[in-house]
Amino acid sequence: MSNPSLLILPGDGIGPEVMAEVRKVIDWFGAKRDLAFDVSEDLVGGCAYDAHGTPLTDATMARAQEVDAVLLGAVGGPKYDQLDFSVKPERGLLRLRKEMDLYANLRPAQCFDALAEFSSLKPEVVGGLDIMIIRELTSGVYFGEPRGIVREGNERVGINTQRYTESEIARVARSAFELARKRDNKVCSMEKANVMESGVLWRDVVQEIHDAEYPDVELSHMYADAGAMQLTRWPKQFDVIVTDNLFGDLLSDLAAMLTGSLGMLPSASLGAPMANGRPKALYEPVHGSAPDIAGQGKANPIACILSFAMALRYSFDAGDEAQRLESAVNAVLADGLRTADLLGQEGVEPVTTAQMGDAILAKLDASL
Ligand code: IPM
Ligand code: MG
């Protein structure tokens, strides 16, 4: 049988340098765990625009549809701020999400023990935190029509449309309930049913799917603004949170920061199963392209490495190996190794991106 295929899209800013560390990890699993991948690499975002005049070529899009999983670094940068909306780096990422129909975006917010001190919240509030935000990723106000900037009389009007079909809500709700069953069996659904019809429908459909198919899972509903408040007040009350595209964008950044560092958190974007049974999947760190520190060896490769761990778990049925990688990351942090984004204590010298990657490889070796 041929090896599973991976398409790597490092993207812009710190994307290439963090992805270089992931490549080492991928090679390690091939050499030491008999888990080899056929890896190909391509452009996405600003670098694709520079080379081809588009943030994602049709050929790259087609390749993404064929492979077993896509691993993406980050896109964007100030160089591209003035570009027309249709060719901005972000459009490349949004096209991948939309055309691969990656409707369930899993964003874990986990507090690493060694890093609880970096949270802006008290250690007792965040210590041991482990929640999973499931953000709907292919619909809602990000994609709804009509949209645009139009002229009305003598002024301009900006328009975006929040739109959800029943089936779009139902499928992401199912993802949340399925995942909850493998965790603490609790789902909290967040919307604004008090102001938005799409929120009323969201709440109804989530409740219906629950009652019909997942009555064993504990379900609660919260308005998204109250959810933001509760997330900062006592985040450990949550297990799985399911919410729409825009609220999920905001709430996942909030939840990520609770853990002390955005540089640590991975994500998985999953769609329907392919012919081989694997879900369509794209894995990427939650952090952005951080152009201000790009190319200086300051970036933290952990979020991207942990995104590969999610790939092992959700695409390649290798939960044990995912765990091995996550333990290696934990061990390195417990040893006190810190990239520049994690510095708080005086007298601690930061390690470079590559040194962090090498230290994780050494822990992987030690795990054998
Ligand atoms: C994210 C990002 C993206 C989004 C941007 C880069 C388009 O903020 O993945 O959370 O808004 O979805
Ligand atoms: Mg975001």
| 162 assigned to a ligand binding site | no
Largest CA distance in the chain: 70
| 233 assigned to a ligand binding site | no
User: How confident is the model over 340-345, as a mean pLDDT?
Assistant: 76
Reported as a pLDDT band with limits 50, 70 and 90, residue 115 is confident
Q: State pLDDT tens for residues 255-287.
A: 988 887 677 899 999 999 999 999 999 999 988
**Helices 245-258, 224-233: crossing angle, 10 deg rounding:** 10
Catalytically active residues, by annotation? 142, 192, 225, 249, 253
CA dist 89 → 52, 79, 81 (Å): 12, 10, 9
What is the reported pTM?
Answer: 0.94
pLDDT attached to residue 129? 93
Q: State pLDDT tens for residues 23-51.
A: 999 999 999 999 999 999 999 999 999 99
3-class secondary structure per residue, the chain: CCCCEEEEEEECCCHHHHHHHHHHHHHHHHHHCCCCCEEEECCCCHHHHHHHCCCCCHHHHHHHHHCCEEEEEECCCHHHCCCCHHHCHHHHHHHHHHHCCCCEEEEEEECCHHHHHHCCCCHHHHCCCEEEEEEECCCHHHCEEEEEEEEECCEEEEEEECCCCHHHHHHHHHHHHHHHHCCCCEEEEEECCCCCHHHHHHHHHHHHHHHHHCCCCEEEEEEHHHHHHHHHHCHHHCCEEEECHHHHHHHHHHHHHHCCCHHHCEEEEEEEECCCCCEEEEEEECCCCCHHHCCCCCCCCHHHHHHHHHHHHHCCCCHHHHHHHHHHHHHHHHCCCCCHHHCCCCCCCCCCHHHHHHHHHHHHHHCC
What is the distance, to the nearest Å, from the Cα of residue 359 to the centroid of all Cα atoms in its chain? 24
Whether the per-residue pLDDT at 344 is higher than 70: the answer is no
Q: Which of 12, 80, 93, 141 to mutate to test the pocket of ligand 1 (most atoms within 8 A of CB)?
A: 93
Find out whether the beta carbon of 141 lies less than 6 Å from any atom of ligand 1.
Answer: no
pLDDT attached to residue 114? 81
Please name the residue whose Cα sits nearest to atom 2 of ligand 1. Answer: 249
Find out whether the beta carbon of 206 lies less than 6 Å from any atom of ligand 1.
Answer: no
Identify the structural domains of the chain with CATH numbers, from first to last. 1-108+263-368 (3.40.718.10), 130-258 (3.40.718.10)
Alpha carbon of 177 to ligand 2 centroid (Å) = 23
Find out whether the beta carbon of 218 lies less than 6 Å from any atom of ligand 1.
Answer: no
Q: State pLDDT tens for residues 134-189.
A: 999 999 999 999 999 999 999 999 999 999 999 999 999 999 999 999 999 999 99
Please name the residue whose Cα sits nearest to atom 10 of ligand 1. Answer: 249
CA dist 4 → 52, 262, 309, 311 (Å): 28, 29, 15, 11
| 79 assigned to a ligand binding site | yes
Find out whether the beta carbon of 72 lies less than 6 Å from any atom of ligand 1.
Answer: no
